[in-house]
Every structure is written in structure tokens, then in C-alpha cells.
Amino acid sequence: MKAVGCAVLVVVLAAGGFFGLAAWLVVRGDDQSGLTQRVEATVLDPREVGTGTGSGYRFAYAYEVDGQWYGYDRYVVNERVWTPGDPVSVCVDPDDPHRHVVSLVRPCGQERTDGNFVKEATPRPAPESRDQPAARQP
């Protein structure tokens, strides 16, 4: 009977360790060390929204690398971190500028930058205007 109890304990501990490691890897996010080039982004259409931790802003942004513009349309940030008028930078992969991460504070080229996951931008035309005032969401 003791052997069965020990076997169950080992299985439970192994399963807990497996799921704990899997959760840590998911929360940890993507390796961002290849995103070494910092470029300034142009914020487009910031809108005030509710977030899971209070209020913040949703906006699109565009950035230019080697004459080509790239854009991303669904970025959300807490108002304690960013408000309209603040600069936004992205760290890009110089070999594949579609791959990027928003970096508001940390330098580029680190394994993790500001708690974001690597995003894939799409080519787009140059933006017409910069940093529009925030519009209130109903």
C-alpha cells in the first residue's frame, strides 16, 4: 500500500512540475535578443479604453526601416505606462523588420523587453499624421 501511495505522489509531483514549467515558458514569452535595432514609431489613432488593470489606450503604430514602412494595428497599453504624446519605440530584427516588439523603457537586444511578445508587422504606406489626440470610447 505504501508503494502505491509513493507512486501516486511521484506522478502528482511530476505532473505539477511539467505544468509549472509549461506555464513559466508561456508567461516568459518569446526570446527577443535578435531584436536589436531601435526605431521610433508613429502612433496612429490612440483611443482610451478599459484594460484588465484599469484604463489605458489602444492604438495602431507604424515604423520605418530602410525606406519600408511597417504597421501594427492592435496595441493596448496601461495609462500608467504610456499616454498620448509620449514617444513609442520598437525593437526590430534587422534581418526581418516585420518581427518587432514595442519597447517603452528597456534597451533592445535583451531576452525580454518590457514584457511583450514578438509581433509581426505588415507592410503599409507611410502614415499621414503623427500622434493624434485620444478619442474617448463610449
* pLDDT value, residue 99: 95
Domain ranges of the chain: 1-30, 37-136
pLDDT digits (tens, 9 = 90+) for 7-22: 665 666 665 555 444 4
Q: Which of 84, 107, 94 is nearest to 63 (CA)?
A: 94
Q: Per mean pLDDT, which of 59-68, 73-82, 127-136 is the most reliable? A: 59-68
What span, in angstroms and rounded, lies between the C-alpha atoms of 135 and 84?
10
Report the predicted TM-score, pTM, of the whole model to 2 decimal places. Answer: 0.69
